[in-house]
Chains A and B, each alone.
Chain A
C-alpha cells in the first residue's frame, strides 16, 4: 500500500509559538512531525487519523503522524508545516534566477510501525 503525493508546505502560528518556547519541546515535535492528508488517501493506506506513515523520496525519508486535513477533498496532495521534518524531503536545486528553488515535494507515503522521526535523528543525519 502506497500513495504518491505532492506535499505543499505552509507556516503555522501555533507551531511558531511552540518553536519560540523551544524546538526540542514535545509540542513543537507534535506540530512539526505530521502530514495532513486527504481522507480517501488515508483510507487507501489503511491509516487512521493519528497513525504513523513513512514519507520518502529521492532526497530523504521521515516517519510522521498522519492527520486528516479537514479541507475539501484533495487526493494526491498533502500538507506539512514547514519544519526540519519537511526539509528532509526538499531538494535544493536553484531556479534560473539563482534563488533556492523549492520546486515542490513529491513523496511516496506508506504506513509505518516505526517511531516518529525525532529531531535528534534529523540533526544526526545532517552530520553524517
Chain B
C-alpha cells in the first residue's frame, strides 16, 4: 500500500496544501494535483541549470563570486523576479537590493499589481478564499481566467464547493460571472453570465454597471443583459470580484474607478476583491515591498545609504533602460517582458538564479543553479488572498535554495 503525505504545490498562487505525494525516495504518485501543478512538478525533469560563467561551466563558488563582483560593481543594478520565490528568499533579496542600491520589480507590475496594491493598502475590501468558499454567492472573474491560471480556484473555493453557507453551491446558490475579451475556458462554464467586452472597453463596462446600480439605462453593451447583471449584483449577499491581468490595459490609468465601483457595490451588499496573482508568491513580494518601503511599485534603493526612492522613472521600464546589471531570480525576464525592456536587459551583464534553463539563463553572464521552491526547498509563501502557507520540500537535492544563494552572494561582497 502506498503511503501519502500532504504537501503544498507552488504551481500557482493558490498554493494548494492538499497535494498528496507518495512518501518514497522518488515520487511515483500524486493526488489532487492539477494540470498546472503537474507541469510545475515536471520542472524537476526539465533541463536543469549548471553553474556557468560567460557560457562556460564553472564551480558554484566561482559563479557566486563572479555574481557578487558584477553586482557590487554596478551603479544602477536591477533585481527582477521575486514572485516565484519563497518569502525567506525575497527577504534576503531585499537586503541585497538595499545594500547594492538596486531597483526592484516583479511581473505583477504589468499584471494584477495595482489591484494588489489597493488590497494591501486597504483601499478596497478583501477576504480570504476560505470566506469565498463558505459565504460567496457571486464570483466575478474580470479579465481573469482561473481555469488556466489558478486551475483549482473554481473547485476548491469559488464555484463548485459546498461551503458553510453555500450547501446548495453552483446548482442553486452560486453565480459565476465572467467579464472577458474572449470566450475563455472559465467563460465556457457560464455562457449566460459571460459579458464580452472589446480590448480597452472595461471602463465603459464598469460605468454601465454603475448606471444600472443607479437605476439608469446603461450606455454600453446589451442593455437587457446589463440590467439583468444589475439585478444579480443587487441580490447578491456576498460577492467577490477576482480582477486579473485582462482588465489592466483598460483601467491602468483609472484605477480609482475600480475603488468607486467597490464602494458603490458595498452600498447595496457585501463585495470583496481578491486579485488573481500570477507567481505563487507574488503577494508575498508585494507585501514585503510595501512593508519595507511603503510602496508596491517603482521602487529603488539609493547606493551608499540604501535610501528608498520612489519616482515614475523607477518603473520597470525606466529601471531596465538605465540598468547596468541585472539579477533575475524566480523569473525569465527576456521571455516575459515587452521587447523594449527585454532588449535593454539583454545588453547588460545578467546574473540568473534559476532551477531550469530559460531564455534569460541562455544569455546570462552568470548562471547559478537553484533548488525549486516548494519541491526541493522549503520556506513560507503568501497565497493570493494573504494566507501564509508553509512550504515543505519533498525532493532531495544538493542544489542550494535561493535564500542560501542570495546570502552567499552578499557574503562574497
Interface residues, chain A, with chain B CB atoms under 8 Å away: 6-8, 10-13, 16-17, 20-23, 36, 59-60, 69-72, 74, 77, 79, 82-84, 87-104, 119, 123, 125-128
Contacts and interface: CB of A to CB of B under 8 A. Distances in A.
29 contacts: A7-B199, A8-B246, A13-B147, A13-B149, A16-B36, A16-B39, A17-B39, A21-B39, A21-B42, A23-B358, A70-B183, A72-B196, A77-B181, A79-B181, A87-B335, A87-B336, A87-B338, A89-B339, A97-B253, A98-B298, A98-B314, A99-B110, A100-B110, A102-B248, A104-B200, A123-B359, A123-B363, A125-B343, A126-B339
Nearest to B250: A104
Contact of B36 (A17, A100, A101, A102): A17
B19 interface: no
B43 interface: yes
A127 B317 contact: no
Given A20-B356, A87-B342, 15 more contacts: A36-B182, A69-B182, A74-B182, A74-B198, A79-B181, A84-B342, A87-B336, A94-B318, A98-B297, A99-B109, A100-B338, A102-B249, A126-B334, A126-B346, A128-B343
B40 interface: yes
Contacts of B337: 87, 92, 100
B114 A99 contact: yes
Interface residues of B, number: 61
B196 A125 contact: no
Contacts of B336: 82, 87
Contacts of B315: 94, 98-100
B46 interface: yes
B183 A123 contact: no
A23 B199 CA distance: 28
Contacts of B359: 23, 84, 119, 123
B343 A13 contact: no
Contacts of B181: 8, 77, 79
B400 interface: no
Contacts of A102: 110, 248-249, 338
B19 to A, nearest CB: 16
Interface in B278-325: 297-298, 312, 314-318
Nearest to A86: B338
Contact of A92 (B39, B332, B340): B340
Contacts of A10: 145, 148, 182, 184, 246
Contacts of A98: 297-298, 312, 314-315
Nearest to B252: A95
B312 A94 contact: yes
B47 A13 contact: no
Nearest to A93: B317
B249 A104 contact: yes
Contacts of A87: 335-339, 342
A36 to B, nearest CB: 8
A8 B360 CA distance: 25
Contacts of B147: 13
Interface in B33-60: 35-36, 38-40, 42-43, 46-47
Contacts of A7: 199
A93 B35 CA distance: 34
Contacts of A79: 181-182
7 tightest A-B CB contacts, nearest first: A98-B298, A17-B39, A94-B315, A95-B252, A90-B338, A126-B346, A100-B110
B30 interface: no
Point out which of A7, A79, A100, A128 has the most chain B C-beta atoms below 10 A from its C-beta: A100
Contacts of A13: 35-36, 39, 147-149, 151, 185
A71 to B, nearest CB: 4
